[in-house]
Amino acid sequence: MTVIEAFLHYRFMQNALVAALLCGVLCGLIGVIIVEKRLVMMSGGIAHTAYGGVGLGYLFGFSPLLGAVLFSLAAAFGIGTLRRRGGARTDVLISLFWSLGMAAGIVFVALAPGYPPDLNSYLFGNILTVTSGDLWLMLGVTALVVLLLLALFEDLRSYLFDETFAAVSGLRVRLLEWLVLGLIALTVVVLLRVTGIMLAIALLTAPAATAAMLTRRLFPRMLTAAGLSAGFSVAGLVLSFYFNIPSGATVVALAVLTYATVLGVRTLRRRRTA
């Protein structure tokens, strides 16, 4: 059976394809913001803190993704608040939230009644297990991100490239920062079923970093990153179907290899020009 026939006949393959496209667009848009504001490590901390919410969901019998949303938002706003108030280094705060979230998830799962669930799909992703409910969540978050970026594009561009100038110009920089942190948290939750907690940070950064080497303007960069990320997601899904390999790891490997290739070509061109 070919992958096209699988897409036509199997619902789980159709769900996986839609999830790949939605996550690709979402990662491309938010990834550019993460790379530009140098929030890569914070994104990793939020992603790993989400594991505590997954464990909490299993302990009390509600959706693990809902628990991940709560923990991710708490981590994003908690790190942002403590960083603003000072008194602790940002990297220390991130590492503490990172470790606490993972530890809480392990404890919650251990306390859950019955046999412990298999959480590998949340750690490393499995796009083939995406449900219709997951798709609605992805669609809602993607629509929210697109609408907010379109409505606040000029303000966000000022905030991304010159935060001081944006504050002097009268923009509510603090509110924009909370908005960005909240969107990062929601994006991380969406990625849990596609790439997993361990690999989410790579898909958030690699396509955006690749796009930054291809164009410097913000809007074309977001479009390029979204296209690259969606392409990696779909290609990883197809390769995982034919070679029976993990989909999340395949998507991330394609994204990182593409970044390395573009970086190598760019370096060679600069040396030749010099």
Domains of the chain (ranges, CATH numbers): 3-267 (1.10.3470.10)
Angle at 68 between CA 66 and CA 71, to 5 degrees: 115
pTM over 0.85: yes
How much is the pLDDT for 211?
A: 95
**Cα–Cα distances in Å, from 104 out to 49, 71, 148, 181, 197?**
9, 10, 32, 22, 15
**Cα–Cα distances in Å, from 256 out to 92, 126, 130, 191?**
27, 19, 24, 17
Could you tell me if 197 and 51 are in contact, meaning their C-beta atoms sit under 8 angstroms apart? yes
Could you tell me if 42 and 94 are in contact, meaning their C-beta atoms sit under 8 angstroms apart? yes
pLDDT in tens, 262-274: 999 999 988 888 7
Could you tell me if 246 and 207 are in contact, meaning their C-beta atoms sit under 8 angstroms apart? no
How much is the pLDDT for 172?
A: 86
Enter the tokens of residue 242.
Answer: 């034919």
Q: How confident is the model at residue 53 (pLDDT cuts 50, 70, 90)?
A: very high
Average pLDDT, the chain: 88
DSSP 49: H
Enter the tokens of residue 121.
Answer: 């799909």
Could you tell me if 72 and 186 are in contact, meaning their C-beta atoms sit under 8 angstroms apart? yes
From the CB of residue 85, how many other CB atoms can be counted at a distance below 10 Å?
Answer: 8
Could you tell me if 111 and 59 are in contact, meaning their C-beta atoms sit under 8 angstroms apart? yes
Residue 182 to residue 73: CA distance in whole angstroms: 6
Q: What is the mean pLDDT of residues 174-189?
A: 90
